[in-house]
Structure 1
């Protein structure tokens, strides 16, 4: 499913993750008894492996707009007008103009911004050690996306939630948020009935995400919204979410006669995709190494089908915020994952070091 990632407008740091060939070669060479390439020891010390937990933390900081490394910025600007963000009636309920577009609030202090996204009561500049995961789990953006920026359909896909429904004229309609053009919300409209191909089935589409306690299924002890925004439970959902995206990528590629091994450790180029982007945004390099963690991040933004389209069809779509799927693939490359990690990298390195070795990977 395509994902809308609204952002506040302050310039953000891009979390870049470049692959370290010599480090990987050193690790593999050591494991099979061959000397590592020159310089690998130095890289081994300076480029440690990045864990799956670090991957989740990096994506979560960006998605929630709450980055623990920016604590000094939050404290220094607690009372300073430094932020811009859409106005809300309350956290998760955007205020729109007559055209259906969000109304932008400017000159917000950090205190005001935190109140808008529902975490004002969880943070104090006087606290030297905030509970960052509790704060991140409780963020509600102006469209109602929660924590890791989940919407109702994400939790339905994972079995944690059921859509609210209503029955009219013997037809049962699910009710939930769907990403549609803002013009649908002109003149105060907040929901409408949508039909295929906008949605898979006839649906009452809301303009914001709404989670209600009655529709949580109890999976993994998540019985209500309060459970869902508890850090330990939220992390369970995040990990299930990425497993779901991984399986979606694998099955989507299989349906096209492809496998992950066909693409891992290959490169794509910003200026050779559809649409071509030159120069790449944010000072990124034109060449992008395909890694599993990058693909998982891309699937979080644009769905597993978006990743398959990138790999097979060379499509690089952006969301309404102008964020390309390749940005996530590039920015979150090179982390470990529980789904095979750097399989294709290891195959290439072992063949380079020992061409006579037969290596079988598992993607």
Structure 2
């Protein structure tokens, strides 16, 4: 079963996640050397700078060219007329190492695109081989004094793992949907393939929630945000974050501080139907 995505929904999401607005490219050109973007300081694409005192990311004003360099797409943007703007957007690496639609290691592990690197550690005198990958649940104070990795026990699984402060992508790709490497991950076609599976996953979880009342995502009605709003919010904070919002009004945010409410509003004028998601 193939999945097609409403172009409007798809482009809106890509614009938001890449921070490159497809309808406003001339603004980026006009401000190429002007400090007009409040962004984060990085050592290189995917490796943000943190305050040694607090572990918090450091923000700074950037020119458009600096922003594009920080996200690893400066040369691609200069060649956008030949490669296409979507290829530029899909290759963006944010300061936490999220790529394109801002896919990270944990989601790609869940969707069977990626296997994390394994490390040998000692816990209570016992040698263990544990996975090492990005740990969004750890507080920012974990990363004070230049700390970038931490051995901890995952509360949801009860297992030990090495948590990292960014997505390092040191593991291996499974080859699913042609994603065999980090460079493949930055390709537009591979990004859309991953998005297809991610949306299916979100729809299934939301349908279980609405199914308690004999409804689904598409028939829930005007008492709930639109399907496009809910799917956009799922992409930001995960489907269980959206379920928490629906159940109790809990407003989760991502690493950059973007609230689920922002995405609910951003997709309120976008139409997406079940046949846009699951096509025969």
Band of TM-score, shorter chain: 0.7 to 0.9
Equivalent residues in 2 for 1:291-302, closer than 5 Å: 291-302=226-237
Measure the CA separation in 1 of the matches of 2:23 and 2:85.
Answer: 10
**Unmatched segments (≥5 aa) in structure 2:** none
| Length, aligned pairs only | 267
- What do you get for the CA RMSD once the two structures are aligned? 2.5
**1:101 corresponds to:** 56
Out of 163, 171, 176, the residue aligned to residue 219 of structure 1 is: 176
**2:120 corresponds to:** 167
Out of 97, 122, 137, the residue aligned to residue 90 of structure 2 is: 137
**Unmatched segments (≥5 aa) in structure 1:** 1-50, 268-288, 343-363
Change (3 A) 1:210 1:334: same
Measure the CA separation in 2 of the matches of 1:167 and 1:258.
Answer: 48
Q: CA deviation at 1:183?
A: 0.5
Work out whether 1:245 is the aligned partner of 2:202: yes
Secondary structure, counterpart of 2:39 in structure 1: strand
Equivalent residues in 2 for 1:112-191, closer than 5 Å: 112-124=66-78, 131-168=84-121, 169-179=126-136, 180-191=138-149
**1:55 corresponds to:** 9
Q: Which has the higher strand share?
A: 2
Q: CA deviation at 1:219?
A: 0.7
Q: CA deviation at 1:167?
A: 3.1
Name whichever of 331-340 and 256-265 sits farther off: 256-265
Name whichever of 229-238 and 256-265 sits farther off: 256-265
Deviation string, structure 1 residues 248-292 (Cα, Å, up to 9, x no partner): 2223455x666436972223xxxxxxxxxxxxxxxxxxxxx5211
CA contact (8 A) 2:6 2:276 kept: no
Change (3 A) 1:265 1:116: same
Q: Structure 1 segments of 4 or more deviating over 6 A?
A: none
Out of 266, 274, 279, the residue aligned to residue 331 of structure 1 is: 266
Change (3 A) 1:200 1:122: farther
- Higher Rg of the two aligned structures: 1
Deviation string, structure 1 residues 182-224 (Cα, Å, up to 9, x no partner): 1100011110012142765321100111224x51001111111
Change (3 A) 1:265 1:144: same
